[in-house]
Amino acid sequence: MSEFDFDVFVIGAGSGGVRAARMAAAAGMRVAVAEDRYMGGTCVNVGCVPKKLFVYASGYSESFADARAYGWQSERPDFHWQTLRDNNAREIARLNGIYRDLLAGSGVQVIDGRASIEGPHQVTVHEMRYSAERILVATGGWPFVPEFPGREHVITSNEVFSLAEFPRRVLVVGGGYIAVEFAGIFAGLGAETHLSYRRDLFLRGFDYDIRSFVRDEVAKKGVQLHFNSEIRSIEKQPDGSLLVAMKSEEPLKVDAVLYATGRRPNTVGLGLEALGVATRADGTISVDDSFRTSVPSIYALGDVSGGPQLTPVALAEAMALVKHWQSGRAAEMDYNYIPTAVFCQPNIGTVGLTEEEARDEGISVHVYKSEFKPMRHSVSGRDERTLMKMIVDSRNDKVLGVHMVGPEAGEIIQGMAVALKAGATKETFDRTIGIHPTAAEEFVTMRTPSQD
């Protein structure tokens, strides 16, 4: 008889926590999961899934307009926010139920409530104490809003999907992928949209050519860009609107201000400090290569541990961790060539090194670039461009990075990621027959470097 109630106690039923719990239970471990908010975590409820649905919704405005050039003469229908909001809520509720059923079907005990860690092997939920041989923290992140006058009037990605009314004038604050995506969503749905960022160009960390290209394409969609911009205060007006005072700019009057200025680890109230669990300056939990914290019986993975904030990464980490528990060998997790997408409009897809990263590492590279109008717009007449870029090591012909801005970029780059993971060279791409007519074939037909 074990001295513990559970072999594994998981705190957080997001993507990583659920995957770890299910795999551990399948391996014969006694597992519990505590969750105080919603099944599926950020991705399912206020992240990837609803965001992608809202991106689809926002894209129809252009599709209706473009259809006229293809012979469809009906008038553009009106947009009804409540229909989108409520249909999204129903889909999320369905997914919540699926996650709960998956856990129950795996033999995992689900405990509703916020857990706190009382000792190396002790967890408390609603004053009920549980013991576990291992404790896994998978609580993800939480939107961060800086302190300033009027902060209480802003919304974050936690609230944006369930607004009572559609805001006709919106200010999005931030320069990461969430900010750029939501600016596109609001603009596509018909709102007067502003995007404010405190630096000179958004999407820091992406390839510079991609960033500058997206800046121009986003502006074409009607998003009003405010770079080197800072919010000083927000005052609610008698009519319910918000007056935003901006540094070095005229005040801006809008109906909603969405702050997308990053996320912080969701660790408040967990009891990590009292136990001496080491954290970094940004609040993320320090872990070793096997996801173990400074307290040997406590583990952490996903966004809360400071790695790439991507759902597939959390899933992969969960699988690597459970395999480590089963085998006793070091966890096998490879963070090289992780593809990612930004569902702005047009989309971004990227995998591998940027040109700047490659040069900073002292690698001599050949750079291939192609820019063109997507085929569908040769008839629609819409002023939208696609950019494709490939970074190649000039010493051995190995492809180090592939980047794209254009329709379905994420779908295309997923296949490119497989090629890069397999060590493909530029010659491999050159010898591959393209599918015609597609945008993706451009990646196997680029022959002349644009620069070295």
Query: Which residues are catalytic, by number?
Result: 436
251 three-class SS: coil
For CA atoms 199, 221, 403, 386, the dihedral sign is negative
Residues in contact with 285: Cβ distance below 8 Å, sequence separation at least 6, in sequence order:
137, 265, 267, 272, 277, 278, 279, 293, 300, 304, 305, 306
Among the listed residues 140, 162, 195, the one whose alpha carbon sits nearest the alpha carbon of residue 344: 195
Amino acid occupying residue 94: R
- Rounded to whole angstroms, the Cα distance separating 263 from 140 reads 9
Q: Residue 222, SS3? A: coil
Please report the beta strands in 28-173, taking only residues with DSSP state E, as ranges in sequence order: 31-35, 109-112, 115-119, 122-125, 128-137, 141-143, 169-173
Only one residue has tokens 């229908």, namely 77
Beta strands 141-143; 263-265: pairing state: antiparallel
Crossing angle between the packed helical segments 15-26 and 81-105, to the nearest 10 degrees: 20
Q: Which two tokens stand for residue 64?
A: 């209706």
| Alpha carbons 258 and 16: distance in angstroms, whole number | 27
Instruction: Please confirm whether the linkage preceding 149 is cis (ω < 30° from 0).
Output: no
Residue the block writes with tokens 């995992």: 108
CA 281 to chain centre: 22
Nearest to 9 by CA among 126, 108, 128: 108
User: If residue 172 lies in a helix (H) or strand (E), which one and from where to where?
Assistant: strand 169-173
Residue 179 burial by CB count (10 A; 0-12/13-18/19+): exposed, middle or buried?
buried
Task: Determine the distance from the C-alpha atom of residue 229 to the mean position of all C-alpha atoms in its chain, rounded to a whole number.
Answer: 24
CA-based nearest residue to 179, from 193, 165, 162: 193
Contact call for residues 285 and 300 (beta carbons, < 8 A) = yes
Residues facing 196 on adjacent strands = 173, 226
Q: Which residues contact 2 (CB under 8 A, 6 or more apart)?
A: 30, 133
In order, the DSSP letters of 382-402 are: ----EEEEEEEETTT-BEEEE
Q: How many CB atoms lie within 10 A of CB 243?
A: 15
Q: Which two tokens stand for residue 446?
A: 């680029």
